[in-house]
Structure 1
Amino acid sequence: MKRVSLAVLGAFALIATVPFVGQIPGSAIAQNIKTQAQIQLRLEAEKQVVAQDPQGKQSQKWEPLKGQVLVRPGDVLRYTLSGENKSDRPVKNLTFNQPIPKGMVYVLKSANVTNNGKITYSIDGGRSFGENPTVKVTLADGKVETKPAPAIAYTHIRLQVPSVSAKTTVKATYQTQVR
């Protein structure tokens, strides 16, 4: 069993391409210097709980994680990143880089973003990003093939949003599984 503080999970090491202006636990304010528009950021985590009723039917729900939590290998966590434009102007070209926390594996195809956002991934510690990362694999006969990167290779998720209108919120979610 692992006992982990949410802050230690690493996903809370939110990195945005705009500077932060103040810190509030669980959220932050990002400011676009050119327009002085403000984005309030919030990152929340939930743990998937699977239950079985007396008839054997399974159901799942998401429980919010707060403070010290107990996670076990195989547990699935869902992160929700919200960016609320508090200003009366649109914010253009907002980019968020989210590291996959140590001890976690990205759940393939689990990321979603609103506002026509684009999702890309890194398998090299955040140095480069692509929509479908690949790795080169040497086969038994010595030939090298390019294959989709396995989930364990993913190190970061990048969320790019072309525009966040005034007084609106952009949301993104993704899941990880405890190793």
Structure 2
Amino acid sequence: MKSPVPLLLLVLSGVALAQGTSPLSLLYDQVLVQSVTRDGKTAEKRTPAFTKVRPGDVLAQTVTARNVGRVALPNLRVQLPVPANMVYLAPDGPAPEGVRTEYSIDGGKTFAPAPLKKTVTVTENGKAVTREVEVKPNEYQAVRWTIGTLEAGTEKTLGFRVQVK
């Protein structure tokens, strides 16, 4: 079920958003994703109007950015947090052309393209050693997409999958 994105779930920058006059329309969608077997083949079933989720369920969260104005919107940033009771799994399909995807492990304060790195201190042979390690996707806390240019009358759908804790 598509609905306007609550402002708390989505952060935008790079475009002026005046109430009721924005050239940008945003639609948030969340569907339950399940694997089903049909005629001996595994297929994906997407249920938009689900009412309950259980630990382990996979959801696809997407936002469609639509330029309803008359001019192109440059350098548009769209950000979605990974909900606190969920774990990031992967993108929900390939990123659209002209879109850069970045991830955050600090609640959306900083972003970088994957693979993210972090510094950790471990003890080896009784000594503290600092190492740079790759961040696992399940540690991502937010995703930000930068759309180079969103032409008038066009849209881009951006999204990722999460698993219920």
Q: TM tier, shorter chain?
A: 0.7 to 0.9
Contact 1:79 1:174 in 2 (8 A): yes
TM-score by length of 1: 0.76
Q: 1:54 to 1:116 in 2, by over 3 A?
A: closer
Counterpart for residue 155 of structure 2 = 169
Root-mean-square deviation (CA, aligned residues, Å) is: 2.6
Contact 1:111 1:119 in 2 (8 A): no
Counterpart for residue 112 of structure 2 = 130
TM-score by length of 2: 0.81
Q: Does 1:96 align with 2:75?
A: no
Counterpart for residue 45 of structure 1 = 30
Counterpart for residue 4 of structure 1 = none
Q: 1:174 to 1:111 in 2, by over 3 A?
A: farther
1:79 deviates by 1.4
1:136 deviates by 2.2
1:112 deviates by 3.7
Q: 1:20 to 1:134 in 2, by over 3 A?
A: farther
Gaps of 5+ in 2: none
Gaps of 5+ in 1: 1-6, 23-28, 32-37
Indicate the SS of the match to 1:152. helix
Q: Does 1:14 align with 2:45?
A: no
Counterpart for residue 60 of structure 2 = 78
Q: 1:153 to 1:94 in 2, by over 3 A?
A: same
Q: Which has the higher contact order (CA 8 A, sep 6+)?
A: 2
Q: 1:59 to 1:170 in 2, by over 3 A?
A: closer
**Distance (whole Å) between structure 1 residues aligned to residue 100 and residue 66 of structure 2:** 17
Indicate the SS of the match to 2:138. helix
Contact 1:122 1:154 in 2 (8 A): yes
Matched-pair identity in %: 25
Equivalent position amino acid for 1:49 in 2: Q
